[in-house]
Structure 1
């Protein structure tokens, strides 16, 4: 990890309008948890539904898109990537650093709020809070890698990412049984199910498959991103 690149990447994410997008979604999740608890509807079933549909199903992929593309795509769009690539730094190191920054943002803005929201509803009952926090963490890491790569591959990363999150993850992955094996959201839910003992949480994917898929997708995307950066010339063209 390169400290200079990490600092630039953090400033890019936290110093622009993206910070508001990173903050709003977790606040909505926690706000919903507070509201449900206030009206006396903080049951296990309700909590699991909220975590599955909103925390992992909506918030996590959108935060992954914001953080993953935000660490690299703006620099490519405005041409400042040229100055970064001109420095005597290995391009795979640049990719790994950008990934670690995005992943840390997902841990802060996805995993932590997910734990807080679940804890507000059911405390530590059935390990739901721990399960979904871990699921959001590992799922967020995978999303960070995939969307960072997407930001390098195309200038339409945000549009493609939204389509992926809404159509594949939100519709196909939830309603087409065979497609669930190829959904980061479903892998994250499998991790949550493995940790939690709640009877209201179950998945069709084994933890062995989910863990392997998360690892392969994350490592593969980061390695591909590093190789792709090598194809960029100092004029910003490929």
Structure 2
């Protein structure tokens, strides 16, 4: 971790335009939750639909995409990454710092609003608020690592990330049995399922992947993507046309 890199990354991520995008999504979640509670009352099934379908299925992947690519992508695109790479800093330390800042942003703007939305929808019943908050937190960390790697290896990271988040995770990863084993959403849902406990199956908050497998895959993707991003950063040419 490097304090200077962390401050620069946080300043870039929380700039005016990107901050508005980051804040908009959790605001929509909380607004929908308040409306649902006002219209339908405390409904666990509705909570699972909203927290699983919107928070875990849409909010966190998009937050991870914005934060993960935004942590390093703009610097690579405009060439300013050169000034950072010329400093006596380990490339992996740069990537780990940027990943940590992005993951922290997604946790604060993804997991905490999900927990609040769960409390609004159901209170503390069935541990839904805690379960989905933890699930979105671990998913957000994995998404940040994956999308940060995309930003390092391609300038089309946002487009590829959107296709992955909205097509693979939201459509294919939810409904195609074989693809479910390769879905960050399903892996994190396994964590949620364990926390929610027995009511999870009745409410449909179940994962196609076992908990042990899910945890291993989450760790492998997060650590592997971060390590490989650092390795690829070492190959970037130090010119004005990065």
Please indicate the TM-score interval, normalised by the length of the shorter structure: over 0.9
CA distance in 2, matches of 1:210, 1:134: 14
- State the partner residue of 1:145: 145
Q: Is the 8 A contact 1:56 1:136 kept in 2?
A: yes
Residue 236 of structure 1, CA deviation: 5.4
CA distance in 1, matches of 2:111, 2:186: 16
Aligned length: 238
TM-score, normalised via structure 2 length = 0.96
- State the partner residue of 1:132: 132
Residue 73 of structure 1, CA deviation: 0.2
For structure 2, list consecutive stretches of 5 or more residues without a partner in the other structure: none
Report the more deviating stretch, 69-78 or 33-42: 33-42
Q: Is the 8 A contact 1:51 1:118 kept in 2?
A: yes
Deviations 1:119-145 (CA, angstroms, capped at 9, x unpaired): 111111111111000000000000000
1:36 aligns with 2:36: yes
CA distance in 2, matches of 1:103, 1:146: 11
Q: Where in structure 1 do 4 or more consecutive aligned residues deviate above 6 Å?
A: none
5 Å matches for 1:39-54? 39-54=39-54
Q: Is the 8 A contact 2:79 2:241 kept in 1?
A: no
- State the partner residue of 1:108: 108
TM-score, normalised via structure 1 length = 0.98
Q: CA RMSD in A?
A: 1.0
- Cα distance change, pair 236–177 in 1 and its aligned pair in 2 (3 A): farther
Report the more deviating stretch, 64-73 or 183-192: 183-192
Match of 1:231 among 229, 232, 235: 235
5 Å matches for 1:161-176? 161-176=161-176
Residue 111 of structure 1, CA deviation: 0.4
- State the partner residue of 2:181: 181
